[in-house]
Amino acid sequence: MGGYELVRSDDAPAAIAVDLEAGGTTAPCDDDYPKRRGGSTPSPPAPASTRQQRLVSLDVFRGITVLLMIIVDDAGAFIPAMNHSPWDGVTVADFVMPFFLFIVGVALALAYKRVPDKLDATKKAVLRALKLFCLGLVLQGGFFHGVRSLTFGVDLQEIRLMGILQRIAIAYLLTALCEIWLKGDEDVDYGYDLLKRYRYQLFVGAVVAITYMSLLYGTYVPDWEYQTSGPGSIGKSFFVKCRVRGDTSPGCNAVGMIDRKILGIQHLYGRPVYARSKQCSIDSPQNGPLPPDAPSWCQAPFDPEGLLSSVMAIVTCLIGLQYGHIIVHFQKHRERIMNWLIPSFSMLVLALAMDFFGLHMNKPLYTLSYTLATAGAAGLLFSGIYTLVDIYGYRWTTVAMEWMGMHALMIYVLIACNILPIFIHGFYWKEPKNNLLKFIGIGA
């Protein structure tokens, strides 16, 4: 996420050269690079100073996503529009995860533009994904108990197995493997040529989406039960009656059932987003006391980054990969913008139509309509940032976002995962309440 440390192949160039005067990214001048429209040869290499320039819009897009994530974490508690939707529908917060996945896909197209050794590139991609997955286990598995709790450690019988970084690791790995192994060798002169050159990647995306839809709407969900318990209290059992197929409600959907069967309910996220729904909170859309007639599933664990929902996250990353291919194969800004805008608007229209006819946008389930809507929005935002920053050169307006994008992983770990607040609270005088925050006047 930060810079290109999660997506760059060691065999790939560290940056893409941007020649704003010529109208696009300077293509390497070699024989195997696809010729441009009309059979013209690639542009000559840019000057050395230009070749070191990054495609700034990638970092700015990532930085804006990081900033949005921080705002959502801080403001979501008291601004409903900035908090995740309790179930169906989308809010600003629900765009953060897909935006990260989208830009990972874009960067992968640049990172693996040339792969001299596919086996070596595969080994490095697997290693990066494992590192990211393990980091997610430590940060979101329950090892750190909280900002004001000076204890740490987690019972392996209850560790949360999935999370944000784990989902990104899975999507990154599958998308990287597609880019390494599933590329054609056809020349690209028009947008349609991209479909032929990367038809196998598109086939994988279609298979993944069809598999997800088949499982979501075709899996039988039986009755199930769970237990809740608090410190010093006796556990209480709840029975959830389902016996349905194709249900997308919080209690009886296939996404939750598959996670409970494979991961185990004790390894799922213990504060489900649907606890803020009208059915489960009298203060909805905020957390609150249970209504008298609350359904039995209101307190059941549910992982928003579960196994089946992460399958569709791969599709988002694959869509971003195709947007990155446009950067690789088209040099003119107009061609790039048009090839981005057309699919972006198409996905948004299709998503709205699906939502209207009952296939609702749902972030916890990562439905197909949600995938298309967020990917289309990401494409439009990326097109706008590219126009502002890489075409017109208004970098002074986005310097802070660019820096945040280059250090996205570090910011996520320190701030979004509360590592920095935990670190600050860990230094105190005699009593934990006398910590560094109180010393500088902010308070404990």
Instruction: Kindly write down the DSSP assignment for every residue of 264-317, as one continuous string.
Output: -GGGS-SS-GGGGSTTT-TTTTS--PPPTT--TTTTS---TT-HHHHHHHHHHH
- Give residue 46's pLDDT: 44
Q: Report pLDDT for 22.
A: 46
pLDDT at 236: 86
The more confident residue out of 55 and 222 is: 222
Least confident of 15-29, 214-228, 406-420: 15-29
432: buried, middle or exposed (CB in 10 Å: 19+, 13-18, 0-12)?
A: middle
Structure tokens that stand for 130 in this block: 């494992």
pLDDT at residue number 442: 52
- Could you report how far apart the first and last alpha carbons of the chain are, in Å? 32
CA distances 8 to 1, 15, 115, 191, 401, Å, are 10, 9, 11, 25, 20
| Assigned domain for 42 exists | no
Residue 233 has pLDDT above 70, yes or no: no
Tell which wins on pLDDT, 295 or 153: 295
What pLDDT is attached to residue 235? 73
Range 261-279 burial, b when 16+ CB lie within 10 A, else e: eebebbbbbbebbbbbbeb
CA dist list (Å): 342 to 187, 198, 339, 435: 21, 18, 6, 54
Query: How far is residue 370's CA from residue 351's CA, in Å, rounded to a whole number?
Result: 7
| Phi, psi angle pair for 289, to nearest 5° | -60, 150
115-122 mean pLDDT? 95
Task: Tell me, yes or no, whether 117 lies in a domain.
Answer: yes
Note whether residue 28 is domain-resident: no
- List helix spans (H) across 147-244: 164-181, 191-197, 199-218
**Residue that the structure tokens 């048009």 belong to:** 338
Question: Whole domain around residue 411: which residue ranges?
Answer: 56-219+313-423
Band of residue 326 on the pLDDT scale cut at 50, 70, 90: very high
Question: How confident is the prediction for the chain on average, in pLDDT?
Answer: 84
For residue 9, pLDDT over 70 is answered with: no
- Phi, psi (rounded to 5 degrees) for 237: -95, 145
Per-residue DSSP letter, 394: -
The per-residue pLDDT for range 262-307, each reduced to its tens digit, is: 999 999 998 899 999 999 999 888 888 999 999 999 999 999 999 9
Answer yes or no: is pLDDT of 415 > 90: no
Helices 199-218 and 307-329 sit at what angle, rounded to 10 degrees?
160
Say if 146 falls within a structural domain.
Answer: yes
Domain tally, the chain:
1
319 contacts 348 by C-beta, under 8 angstroms: no
Residue 127 lies in a domain: yes
Average pLDDT over residues 427-434: 73
pLDDT at residue 403 above 60? yes
Q: Could you tell me how many residues make up the chain? A: 444
Which of 271, 221, 226, 291 lies closest to 249 in space, CA to CA? 221
pLDDT for 435 = 74
Q: Is the pLDDT of residue 45 over 70?
A: no
Share of the chain above pLDDT 70, in %: 83
Cα–Cα distance, 226 to 222 (Å, whole number):
13
Q: What pLDDT is recorded for position 394?
A: 86
What is each CA distance from 34 to 11, 148, 301, in whole angstroms? 19, 57, 51
Write down the pLDDT at residue 148: 64
CA separation for the pair 253, 89 (Å, rounded): 16
Question: Would you state the pLDDT for residue 355?
Answer: 96
- Does residue 248 have a pLDDT over 80? yes
265, 266, 270, 272 alpha-carbon torsion, rounded to 10°? -10
Residue 51 falls inside a structural domain? no
> Which pair of structure tokens corresponds to residue 91?
């809010």
| Share of residues in the chain with pLDDT > 90 (%) | 60
Report yes or no on 298 lying in a domain.
no
Give me the pLDDT at residue 18, please. Answer: 43
Q: What's the pLDDT score for residue 292? A: 92
Please report whether residue 244 resides in a domain.
no
| 257 membership: H or E segment, kind and range | helix 254-262
Mean pLDDT, residues 184-195 taken together: 85
Across 192-197, average pLDDT: 90
